Chains A and B, each alone.
Chain A
Amino acid sequence: MADDGVLDEGTETAALQEVLAAEHAAVWGYGTVGAALPLDAREPAVAGEVAHRDVRDRLVALLESRGADPVTREPGYTLPFPVLSAVDAAALAVVLEEGVSAAWVRLLDQATEPAVRELAVGELGAAEVRAVGWRTAAGRTPVTDALPGLPQA
């Protein structure tokens, strides 16, 4: 919530912009994920990229509908680690999904409109489902997260 504890359309819009920025990064990052996977194993990466593009476009439309200027994609991004194998690719996808999850949770905390919270909780769940698949591919244990997007207590 805002530092003064007041939630309003301004806090919600700012949080929507943070989600949009995370979605831009995810769309870009999934390109790297797909490129590091064998051709016959790229379907999940393609599906993930399409999903994030769709959400990005929905967010842009939502922000424009309320008179805000949607944030644009950064001119460049740095990867958190080299992506040289299929396991690296899966690990990167986990990072991407967990990144957008944190942004969606932030939006839930800041939102004032139930419709925005419905959007957020739905997409947060979708991100966690994708993350489960990628954690499995990356050999992570456990493959699930009890509280996706929430900072550790």
Chain B
Amino acid sequence: MCSRPGAGGAERMGAMVPLAPPAPAGLPRRAFLAASAGLALLAAGCTAGSSDTTAVSTEEADRLAEQVAVQEAVVAAYAAATTADPALALSDLAAQAGEQLDRLRAAAPSATASPAASAVPSPAASSSAPPAVPTGGDVRTWLRGQVAGAAAAHAAACARQTGARAALLGSVAAGLRGHEAALA
């Protein structure tokens, strides 16, 4: 056993449990996988035959499509920042932003993919497209602001979703909070 330095006797007694199990018991892997396969409505646990539930789920799906547009803007921001200042070495973060976008698209059946998904936002994302990188400005700070805005938008949307969609949006929001920290 790896005992904690200075740990009290009570902590060394009795049944020991793993400090951090690999995943919470009963983690709904099936639901997340279903969402990734574009079956978000099914994964959200809609009650079959319930028109109310179906209506709510359709609304939630539309909201998730809005977040796809937000994420497309993040991907575009990374591409613009890399072009403006290649020395920033953003490849890892940009790849993760793309991974987040892929997961959101897979979970949002109503979202339409843009033709050049990795670099150019779709028309639906035009309102969320980032402004141009400020000429002569601090690209890193600008990018951090774009990421922060998207994280806040995803977090707000998360609170209005349920089930697997809420979990996905919350995770993406948290991932972007991590990007903010890395860009600080």
Interface residues of A (CB under 8 A from B): 1-2, 5-7, 18, 22, 25, 28-29, 31-32, 35-36, 74-83, 92, 95-96, 98-99, 101-106, 108-109, 111-112, 114, 117-118, 120-122, 124-129, 131-133, 141-151, 153
Contacts and interface: CB of A to CB of B under 8 A. Distances in A.
Nearest to B18: A78
B166 A102 contact: no
Contacts of A32: 4-5, 7
Interface of B: 1-7, 10-21, 23-29, 31-33, 36, 44-47, 92-93, 96-97, 99-100, 103, 151, 155, 158-164, 166-175, 177-182
A98 B19 CA distance: 12
Contact of A1 (B31, B99, B151): B31
B28 A35 contact: no
A142 B169 CA distance: 21
Nearest to A75: B14
Contacts of A126: 177
A35 B14 contact: no
B94 to A, nearest CB: 11
B162 A153 contact: no
A133 B17 CA distance: 26
Contacts of B23: 102, 151
A80 B19 contact: yes
Most buried by A among B32, B44, B166: B166
Judged by DSSP, the binding face of B is helix
Contacts, number: 208
B168 A150 contact: yes
B177 A125 contact: yes
A85 to B, nearest CB: 12
Given A1-B45, A76-B15, A148-B171, A108 B25 contact: no
A153 B1 contact: no
Given A75-B13, A151-B29, A28 B18 contact: no
Nearest to B21: A99
Nearest to A73: B11
A121 B47 contact: no
Contacts of A76: 10-17
Nearest to B17: A74
A52 to B, nearest CB: 12
B32 A150 contact: yes
Given A75-B13, A153-B32, A31 B96 contact: no
A63 B105 CA distance: 35
A5 B175 contact: no
B11 A28 contact: yes
B45 A6 contact: yes
A77 B174 contact: no
A101 B4 CA distance: 23
Contacts of A80: 18-20
